[in-house]
Each structure stands twice: as C-alpha cells, then as structure tokens.
Structure 1
Amino acid sequence: QGFTTMCNSVKPATVMSFLNDLYTRLDAMLDAFGVYKVETIGDCYMVAGGLMKVDEETGAVTVRSDDVDPQHAHRTVQFAKALLHAASTVRLPNTGEPVRMRVGIHSGPAMSGVVGTRMPRFCLFGDTINTASRMESTGLPGAIHVSQATRDLTPNELWEPTGGVEVRGWAGRGGLLNRTSLFNRWV
C-alpha cells in the first residue's frame, strides 16, 4: 500500500531508483514556484516557501530575515498541486499504482541555520515546522492539508473544512488542531 510496504517487497536498489526518479521530477519544479528544498529523508520531501529571496541586481540567493514574502503561501500551495500531479505520473515499483503523496502546509515564522560539524545541514526549527509536519502526518494521500493560517493567506483556493484533528504534542492547546483540506483533483 505505502512506502514501507513497498520497501519491504523490493530490493534496496529499486527503492533508491524509485526515489531518485520521483525526487528528480519534483526538484525540476522548485524554481518555477519559488520554493526551497530543505531536505529529503526516506519518502519525506520537505520544502519551504518564502524562506529565500533573490537579489534582483546580483542574482544572489539569501535567507530572508525580517521581510515576509506576501506570496509564499500561494506559491507553496501551487507547488503542492503540481507535486501531487507529478507524483501521480510515477508508479510504485511493487504494484504499478500511481504515487499518492500526503502534503501538509502551515504558514508562520521559523528559525533556520546550519547545524553540525561533520556533515553540516541547513535545518528549519520551530512551531511552524512542527505544525506543517502534523498536517502532513494526519492528512490523506492525494490531498493538501493546510492550517487555518495558510487557509487565511490563500482565500481564492477551494478549501474543504475537516473539523479538526487530534494532534500529538498539542495537549497544552486543547489537543485539537483546526485544519482545512484541499483534496487533489488529479488522482
């Protein structure tokens, strides 16, 4: 059915080839939507919108500090739609079925930096990152699940309310995260 099942039924080289094919397709779309690929871990593909800015004179790419990109949520949602479509053109090697990814998006502040000395990595930290992760983990395959913050920034999207979801780690906030969903129309 999912990634773990697929990994248990095919050779590791097949998994690597599958992920390389999928991620190469997704990587090719990043610049068109102005999103930044933060990392991939197994079948997790993490991007951030509004994180980087391009200097129009020099072309230098830098991390945003205090200024907020007003279109970050819109571009991230548009990338997510394209991601779901691109993923659906890739087939699982064990079943031949199209890939159906879960997408979680939240908008808010985050801390970024390079950590470690052996294999230093650019990482993102904060509640915004944790909330986006919860949106993904509680979502449905083939759907984009967004928080109220992202919904408010993308009023022209056709969001379907879900009524909320129990979220681990939100006990101090009532344990319920309000969310809305846009279900993928392509899969």
Structure 2
Amino acid sequence: MRRTLLAVLFAAATLAGCKTSQGSDALALSFSAYKTTPVMVTHFSIEKPLAPTPPFIPGGIADEGPPRFAGVSSGDAPVDRGADGVWQVSARWVELTTDRAWEASVDVPVDEVNIDLGAYSLTVIMGPNGLLLIGSDLAGTQKSDMKDIARSCGARVPEDDKAWRLETEAHTGLKTIMSAPRGPVTNPECPTP
C-alpha cells in the first residue's frame, strides 16, 4: 500500500523521462513530520498545480532526527518548468493533534539540493502551525548529514479541517501514532493561529 501511494505521488509530481537542466535525472523523495505534530497529507505537487493524493501519514520524527524520515521512494526528477533553477513544492495537510488543515508552497533552489547515491535527495517535512520545511539530507545518522534548504509558514485551510485522528481503523498506523507519547510543541517557527 505504501509503495503504491508513493508511486501515485511521483506520478502527480513528475513527468517520466524528463531531466532537469543539470545534476541527476533521479529523485529520492521522502516525507516526514514532527513527532509533536503528526499529520495526514492530502495534497502534494512539485512544479505543478497542487493536486489531491490518497491521504497518507508520513512517518518519521523530523524534530528528533537524524534521520528525519522513515522511507524513501525513487522516481524521475521534476521538470524545472520555469527553467529558473527552482522547484516549487506545494502541500496541504491536516495536523492530527489539532484537526487543523494547512497549505504551503516553498521555492527550492535546485542547485542546493544534495545529490546522494545518484539522485536528488528531497525530504518534505511538515511541522507545527503550518511549517513546511524542505530538507536535503544525506544518508546517515549524524547532524552533519542534515541540510535544510527552504521553509515557509503555511496558510490555514479551515474548509479542510478534519478529525482524521478519530478514524483509527481506516488508516494504517494511525492508532499507533495517536497513542504514542509526545511532548508539547515548544518554540514553533510558525505562529499559533
């Protein structure tokens, strides 16, 4: 199921067989969230209009890493639509602890993305109060392996607020995530609404 979901995300985010202006023609894409604020991702895109995806819960404890992600999927690198050396990454998600929906976009300079093991390494991280953070971590468990490229505080999308946390039987891992101990959000980068 998770592999199928990641394949769908790649189909939504990239065009097969297209190479970026320089660097690699492959992308290692991963998703993560802060342990303090697990999320349900509902929309995602790279260099395309924001599109719905099958809802999924990204693994990881990005605020406690490295590593900041629980899995990686490989595919073709996105086409740089504006030929400006920037990938626009967009996402919409719901914080499982607050039921609040957020949407954010961030511009990612392609030349700042690490190429690790032959592919661009891109980690999409959702944090408290609508934080969208793009990392480009190298494979490893040292703090020096972590690289933050871009961040943005998202906008609230109240019409998409949903209590996904109550649907514990409908989503794999949701019951475990919601019952996991977590500390309070402290010093969030984005303001509390």
Structure 1-normalised TM-score?
Answer: 0.27
Higher helix residue share: 1
Q: Name whichever structure is richer in strand by fraction.
A: 2
Task: Return the TM-score normalized by structure 2.
Answer: 0.26
Which of the pair has more CA radius of gyration? 1
